Amino acid sequence: MPSPQPLRGRTAIVTGAGRGLGRAEALELARLGAHVIVNDYGQPGRDGTGEASAAPAEEVAAEIRAAGGLATAHLGDVADIEQARELVRLAVDTGGTLDVLVNNAGILRDRMVFSMTEDEWDSVIRVHLKGHFATTRFAAEHWRERAKATGRPVLGRIVNTSSEAFLAGSAGQPNYAAAKGGIVGLTLSTAEALRRYGVTANVICPRARTRMTEDVFAGLAEPADGGLDPLDPAHVAPLVGYLASPAAAGISGQLFVVHGGMVAVVERPRIAVKFDAAEGVFGVEELDELLTPYYAGRPPHETFAAVEVLGLKRG
């Protein structure tokens, strides 16, 4: 029978863990026995009465410790390369090793592509894509050095966060969809680069009601009967816990859609058809003869985008 705490004695980083999805993931990893480094960018502030209030990361770390778990807060910006280095160093110094990296930190700056500003583009790409890279960069270095020092593979786990916006091509989120697509590419590259060292890297596309997505899901009401909201982050956290565990050693370079009591495994793209040039080099006329009839009559929304993922649900 599997251990009820498969991550006991291991150290995990969860970025963007001060609220919402990251918080749920941090709580789950702590429940599974990990010492969790709870990262969230933000400093202590003041509450409504003027009293000092803890930063969100500190609040989640305190919540974990109050439940009998182990947690340490980190308030740095993961998209800053030196602060990402410091985050990984904190995990290693605290737990002796780093075993799990869950990249979740992100922001939204939604706007149609013809209205988007440079800052709206840059800020989303920075936090999501560079933030995933920066932590991965130093975690990967740590695992490679450990494996080379011992001469054997290590247990290392990366769980990255993409989105259905990338799969379906969300029209009002060109920056977010691009960043999330980049995260998938980063994950696949990382999975191949670190396979020899015993490290897995997977990516999830979660659907969850959080502060970041409150406008996205504003039209979807929570259950009136008091049951668990299908968009509750609690539906996502167990998959992250599983992928972080020793049981998932054989799973790497994979993409999952997860929400509402459902996990869908997304297959890689496959070649639909191949055309060969009659004389070895295509001309425009020959391409017209081949491609125009191939696409004739195809519905305009039947593109490379996998819009069917938006209809996935349990049952």
Residues 25, 17: contact at Cβ < 8 Å?
A: yes
Which residue in the list 41, 130, 162, 163 is annotated as catalytic? Answer: 163
- Report strand pairing: 255-259 vs 199-206: parallel
Q: Is 176 in the active site? A: yes
Which residue in the list 130, 162, 170, 176 is annotated as catalytic? Answer: 176
CA atoms within 13 A on the CB side of 104: 32
Q: Is 148 in the active site? A: no
Q: Is 180 in the active site? A: yes
Which residue in the list 162, 170, 180, 252 is annotated as catalytic? Answer: 180
Residues serving a catalytic function are 163, 176, 180
